[in-house]
A and B are shown apart, each in its own frame.
Chain A
Amino acid sequence: MNRKEMKLHAIDYLAGKVTCKEFTEAITDYLEGNLGLFMWIRFQMHLGICLGCRRYLRQMKQTIRTLGCLPSEPPPPAVQDELLRRFRTWKHERPG
């Protein structure tokens, strides 16, 4: 075992051997606040040493933001007009 591998073994030991594969599968649990404390610590430690996973996490966050930015699709004018008619009927018949 060379020096580099020894160092990585030490990191693996401390970080509880989180692989990048495991990391990428735990991201939604992490983002939704659902990792247990120990897993959260391992997750953070892995994040500290792994550029690929930092990028992957960032991209998942960007993906979520992209979905949240999608413009809303209003109904076509005819549907909107029909709904507005219903609204006016409701307004005159509603309680109070």
Chain B
Amino acid sequence: MDGQQLAAQSAAPAPVLPTQAPPSVSPPKYTDDRLLIDALRRGEEPAFLWLVNRYHGSLLRVARTYVADSSAAEEVVQETWLGVLEGIHRFEGRSSLKTWVFRILTNKAKTRGVRESRHITFSEYERAQDEEDEPAVDPAQFQASGFWTDHWAVEPRPWDDATPERLALSKESGALLEDAIEQLPARMRQVLIMRDVEGVDSKEICELLGLSEANQRVLLHRARARIRRLLETYMEGETRGS
């Protein structure tokens, strides 16, 4: 924080920083974009904190696909939040609020990436990985010949219904998942985080990332298939372990 801001802060009337981090549990009213936007425009701190706590992690993950190191990514995300504040009065709601926040992030991250003149994101290696014709299922799981060619040789084993919540909320498998997402090639990671982790509309993702719809679905499909395989392996390990 620079001196000017410090001065501005000390000149400001009452508000004192809370000593404890506010609870990350979201008040349900903010799930409605319009209410959230109005609250932000009125300068309500809980609304801003809710938004920050809700999206900071995903923004950081997407930022890391553009810039070289994690401190640069952290800066890009902070710039994004300032961009949100600067722009919130002009936001017209033509996209959802989260899409708009992701757009600010990708713009800031791209500018930053160019400034650093580092093209780590779409290196030739990753481009090759993206374009590689990677099957969703290991071909060895299908019959190689005969009448049943390309039908299951080994059917997937069933998962129980409680799987998603259990896996996402357990510390061990949650960390494993985060790690697996981090290992995905950049473009798969961007699409998967925006679409499946944050539920951004797929057309808006295409526009944001400059992808064709077909291309976006291919990336999404491969990313999902990789994560499914990871979960499958994890659960097989669990079964063997127990």
Contact = CB atoms under 8 A, between A and B. Distances in A.
A91 B57 contact: no
A21 B135 contact: yes
Q: Which of A71, A72, A79, A93 has the most CB of B within 10 A?
A: A72
Interface residues of B, number: 69
Interface stretch (B48-56, B102-110, B116-124): B48-56
Contacts of B57: 72-74
B168 A72 contact: no
Interface in A42-63: 50-53, 55-56, 58-60, 62-63
B231 A66 contact: yes
Contacts of B217: 28-29, 32, 34
Given A59-B228, A74-B57, A94-B89, A86 B82 contact: yes
Interface in B1-44: 1, 5, 8-9, 12, 15, 17, 21, 24, 41, 43
A69 B224 contact: no
Contacts of B209: none
Interface residues of A, number: 55
Given A69-B165, A88-B9, 5 more contacts: A20-B150, A55-B158, A59-B228, A75-B77, A96-B41
**Interface SS, B side:** helix
A92 B149 CA distance: 69
A56 B156 contact: yes
A22 B221 contact: no
Contact of A59 (B159, B174, B192): B159
A37 interface: no
A95 interface: yes
Contacts of B43: 87, 90-91, 94
B164 A21 contact: no
Contact of A93 (B8, B21, B156, B202): B8
7 contacts: A59-B232, A68-B196, A70-B168, A70-B174, A71-B168, A89-B8, A91-B43
B199 interface: yes
B101 to A, nearest CB: 13
A77 interface: yes
A58 B164 CA distance: 11
A65 B150 contact: no
Interface in B149-171: 149-152, 155-159, 163-165, 167-169
Contacts of A59: 156, 159, 228, 231-232
